[in-house]
Amino acid sequence: GPQSWHELFPAACAGVAQSPIDIRPERTIYNPDLKDFALWYDPPKPGSRMKIKNNGHAIQVNTEGEFYFTNGGLQHVYKVEQFHFHWGSEDHMGSEHLLDSIAYPIEMHIVSYNSDLYGDIGEAVTEKGGLAVLGVLFEVQEQPNPVYDPIIQALQHVKDPEMDKEEEIEAVSLRNLLPEDMSKYYRYNGSLTTPGCFETVTWTVFHQKQKISFGQEYSERLNGSPAPIDAINEDIPEWIQDPLVDNFRPVQPLNNRVVYRSFKLKDIYAPQLTYNIQPNSQPEPEPKKTGKVATVYSKQDNNSANSVHISFLSCLIVFIISLL
């Protein structure tokens, strides 16, 4: 399985710029050149279909219509080829990338190739900078996300470990699969997370998560159950015949690589301010914000303004974040 790919494929999967990685936001570097993405795409036409298949290591969906993106710190235009999912058997695992050492139950990869320089993904896959992958992490919520229903309903038809077994599903808008906020993301150079692990990928991992309900997530787990014995093809390698669940590769060493972010840490970390209000003071009005710190005023019996004490730790946090 993924845990032993570096041993099964030492020439390909034991490099020094492998993916996935554990992204530690406080160890990343802010890069103001990582601007918003520009997207060009054709919305799905009524009645159009997408093909979904089990490729042996993930559920892959081939896109319908053309979808291109650029900017976002990229020097070329990239064309989306397919997207696929990695998930776990429990809530605390499933994603390939970790965010601050935390795993999420599902991760989606939108795989694209450099269409400025290469005619198809086959030409681009072995070339440095030939691929760009958009990574989306998922959180569990109470309400189902209807965007993903066609994909989840088709999983039961492609769960058997037969390579290239395909089903057709109702076409979905790829833009709807992406986070609403695409402006906050992490960027690093890495590899494909499956053999041959080519170190040709410009990775983007979005900070904002997509949502999926427990019922939808549980359906993915059920559809990753083992296939009947008579459905196993003896010609398929043993590592592919495993149930299609926990199909995530462990994080790889960062080595000397640098991970960049498109945003300042203060945009995602709200400092927790503590106030020391004297007893018996009257209820405070709504805070009046002055700059980055909210100042609260309250009246004492002598009508003098009550001092507000902000903890030293909070001041230190505000100061540090203001420098990032």
Question: Annotated catalytic sites, by residue?
Answer: 57
Question: Quick count: other Cβ atoms within 10 Å of Cβ 155?
Answer: 21
Please, are residues 214 and 140 in contact by the beta-carbon 8 Å criterion? yes
Can you say whether the dihedral through the CA atoms of 241, 242, 246, 252 is positive or negative?
Answer: negative
Question: Which residue type sits at 209?
Answer: K
DSSP string, 257-296: ---EESS-GGGT--------PPTTPPPP-SPEEETTEEE-
Please, are residues 63 and 121 in contact by the beta-carbon 8 Å criterion? no
Please, are residues 153 and 142 in contact by the beta-carbon 8 Å criterion? no
Q: Measured between alpha carbons, how far is 70 from 34 in angstroms, rounded to an integer?
A: 11
Q: How many CA atoms lie within 13 A of 93 on its CB side?
A: 10
Q: Measured between alpha carbons, how far is 124 from 118 in angstroms, rounded to an integer?
A: 6
- SS3 for 125-180 is CCCCCCEEEEEEEEEEECCCCHHHHHHHHHHHHCCCCCCCEEEEEECCCHHHHCCC
Element (H, E) at 323: helix 312-323
Q: Measured between alpha carbons, how far is 129 from 248 in angstroms, rounded to an integer?
A: 23
